[in-house]
Amino acid sequence: MALVAHFYNPRRNEYNPRQRETRDYQGEETSMQASKHHPLRSRVAVVIALLFSALLALGATGVGAQEQKKQEGKPMPPSRNEIFEGEVNAPDFPSGAEWLNTEKPISLRDLRGKIVLLDFWTYCCINCMHIIPDLKKLEAKYGNQLVVIGVHSAKFQNEKGTDQIRQAILRYEIEHPVINDKDFEVWQSYTARAWPTLILINPKGKIVGSHSGEGIYDIFDNVIGQMATYFRAKNELVETPVNFKLEKFAAPPSLLAYPGKVLADEKSNRLFVSDSNHNRILITSLDGAVQDVIGDGAIGVKDGAFAEAEFNHPQGVALDGDVLYICDTENHLIRRADLKARTVETIAGTGQQARRFNQEGVGKQVALNSPWDALVHDGKLYIAMAGPHQLWVLDLKTLAAKPYAGSGRENHVDGELLESALAQPSGLTTDGKSLFFADSEISSIRAASLPPGNVVSTVVGKGLFDFGDVDGKGDDVRLQHPLGVVYVNGKLYVADTYNHKIKELDIQKRESRTFAGTRERGVKDGDRKQSQFNEPAGISATSKALFVADTNNHLIRRIELDSGKVSTVELKGLETLTKQMVRKFRGRVVEIAKQQIAPGAGSITLSFALPAGYKYNQGAPFYLAYKTANDKAVKIKETAQNFTEPKFPLDIPVEALAGEGAATVDAVIYFCNDEKDKVCLVDSVRVNIPLEVKDGAPKQAKVEVAAKAKGVNN
């Protein structure tokens, strides 16, 4: 895509919008004039007072260069101070809009004294995903000076829902306020043209500049740093941090966390699950018995043994005998897991996002860009490379990697492999003759010939803004941002993600029909025509059943191909998972009020209050570990135990001596609702219990902790 930005024009002595072609990855433009889905018109003519390239040039040339231009009679760009002061008031947010990651609506007036950065995004967009790490770095560096506000202006109909945006915030781990700009009011008032677009506002509420596209950190780091210095010197910068009530505080951990992909292998009776937001891969039997876990759950990039390896939101996996290839998506790597040796190694990628099209290279010397899915065929790993809108091929002997299909232009164009245009391919399968892929941003299922073929064609789908939920034939078919596809028994089955359905496609007839799901998001087993899903993103198959990564429900679902019965795969035997969760504790922390206990032998009686309609999951690997911080006051024999038959309340023996101390209890508990839905949750919690030894107090300190389930499947 072309970069859409605002550049200073010295000939006219003003800032005018223009486009410049670039070979770097940028943003997704809305094509406002041409698209019937985005007939946007600017309500406010926003004059941009700065373009960052001009500011950077000022920083390099200094005042002396300006004076020279003045003496030569040449038009002068504004000074840095004039740029920072701005000219136009930033339009405030509309009243009545829904907000997330904050307990109340926000006005720009509330943020006077802060540097404000607006991020216009839509959660389907790979370019928007790519700038999230940069935004997090800016927020960390300028935590006392900067407030980022996400403006979610949805591309797809499904993305307009506040609950769906909430799920995206949790999935992407966003920690700044977000306004649901579902009617494009904020978008129009700032004349945004592309996803992502960023608008910088100074502490006085005036617009300073804009930028569209990726690669934002260096640009904004430079400008925000200089702005902070300038307004601090004027005593106009408020440097007390602002805290917001984040969505993550109301979302307890679940057994799976936004599983992105699933791979079923009938021959070995194994299921591989990308537990994406737990940064690991689960290996289970086809009926859900957990056999192994790859990754310790921490975000990172580390090779080694399964229990120590680290990933960053992995997605697709591909099996080749006893080797599993993993798309380590947000690390921009391909990892190789040896299932016998139980080790992980990186085989392709530098660990940095590729910034240019059509580069190729070998192994860890070639940069990749958001590998999303993969499959092995004839000694090669084919990769759905979502970031550059291409399919890639990696030779598994030489590790040479290069583009296989797609020019890098984001569009819907059939033709020769490298002359075609794709749009964020995110799912991959094969019949042995062609690669079929879910081309998500154009809501299409397409085919790329395997050698010796050389053609990309379309099975169903049409263009960047042609989407919906329409079964039928040929060009009349409409999907909505499909992320997964699998070939089985001569047909394609599609995870039609934003329609919350599974579709069945006849390839030759180009015919589509709904196979499972009602279009209503939810979680419901039983007859496939009445079943419900919530943004299913991954799909795989045996000869008898489909397996679906039901992403926003945090579940794996099974659909029998013959009967159409839908069921939830119950994961069993998670001892390894549980130990890893506690070894690097990342659960929530509960602080209990001070408890009094009598001197001598006694106990802490611990119980958990489950939500209404839930019960303990018998057979699950519950875990408890407890200790004290000061043995001089209260002694507890430090203990860790796994058990599968929970008997709460649980008595923890203590010996009370004198004075004040504290006990810490780490617990992982499992609980499920009724058998109909089989929604199972896991709560990882650390309970801090201050204790005071006092004559006349009870021998037991009674502690009850509420297990959290609110919001998990909303």
User: Which residue is listed with tokens 């609980």?
Assistant: 671
Residue 608 belongs to a domain with what CATH number? 2.60.40
What pLDDT does residue 414 have?
A: 97
User: Which residue is listed with tokens 């590729």?
Assistant: 354
Distance of CA 210 to the CA centre of its chain: 25
Neighbouring C-beta atoms of residue 515, cutoff 10 Å: 21
What pLDDT does residue 528 have?
A: 96
Residue 642 — very low, low, confident or very high, per pLDDT cuts 50/70/90? low
Asked if the model's pLDDT at residue 37 lies above 60, the reply is no
pLDDT in tens, 176-229: 999 999 999 999 999 998 999 999 999 999 999 999 999 999 989 999 999 999
Asked if the model's pLDDT at residue 596 lies above 50, the reply is yes
Q: Is residue 449 part of a domain?
A: no
Q: Which of residues 202, 218, 249 is at a domain's end?
A: 249
User: 42: closest CA among 32, 34, 50?
Assistant: 32
Q: Bigger pLDDT: 613 or 367?
A: 367
Q: Bigger pLDDT: 644 or 452?
A: 452
Q: Which two tokens stand for residue 699?
A: 């021998």
| Percent of the chain clearing pLDDT 90 (strictly above) | 66
Asked if the model's pLDDT at residue 80 lies above 90, the reply is no
Asked if the model's pLDDT at residue 712 lies above 70, the reply is no
What pLDDT does residue 44 have?
A: 33
pLDDT in tens, 454-503: 999 999 999 889 999 999 998 999 999 999 999 999 999 999 999 999 99
Q: Bigger pLDDT: 26 or 84?
A: 84
What pLDDT does residue 115 have?
A: 97
Q: Is residue 680 part of a domain?
A: yes
Q: Is residue 663 part of a domain?
A: yes
What pLDDT does residue 40 have?
A: 30
Q: pTM for this one?
A: 0.79
Per-position DSSP letters for 135-164, written without gaps between them: HHHHHHHTTTTEEEEEEE--SSGGGG-HHH
Q: Give the domain extent around 638.
A: 586-706
What pLDDT does residue 31 have?
A: 35
Q: Is residue 158 part of a domain?
A: yes
Q: How far apart are CA 59 and CA 77, in angstroms?
A: 12
Mean pLDDT, rounded, of the chain: 85
Q: Bigger pLDDT: 604 or 327?
A: 327
Does residue 649 have a cis peptide bond before it, meaning omega lies within 30 degrees of 0? yes
Report the number of distinct structural domains present in the chain.
2
Q: Is residue 215 part of a domain?
A: yes
Q: Is residue 637 part of a domain?
A: yes
Residue 35 belongs to a domain with what CATH number? 3.40.30.10
Residues 177 and 244 sit within 8 Å (Cβ to Cβ): yes
Q: How far apart are CA 154 and CA 226, in angstroms?
A: 33
Instruction: Give the CB-side neighbour count of residue 323, counting CA atoms within 13 A.
Output: 13
Q: Which of residues 249, 268, 291 is at a domain's end?
A: 249
| Percent of the chain clearing pLDDT 70 (strictly above) | 83
Q: How far apart are CA 320 and CA 310, in angstroms?
A: 21
Residue 55 — very low, low, confident or very high, per pLDDT cuts 50/70/90? low
What pLDDT does residue 65 have?
A: 43
Q: Which of residues 249, 280, 295 is at a domain's end?
A: 249
Q: Of 364-378, 568-582, 607-621, 672-686, where does the model show the most confidence? A: 364-378
Q: Is residue 271 part of a domain?
A: no
User: 568: closest CA among 593, 536, 543, 591?
Assistant: 536
Q: Is residue 173 part of a domain?
A: yes
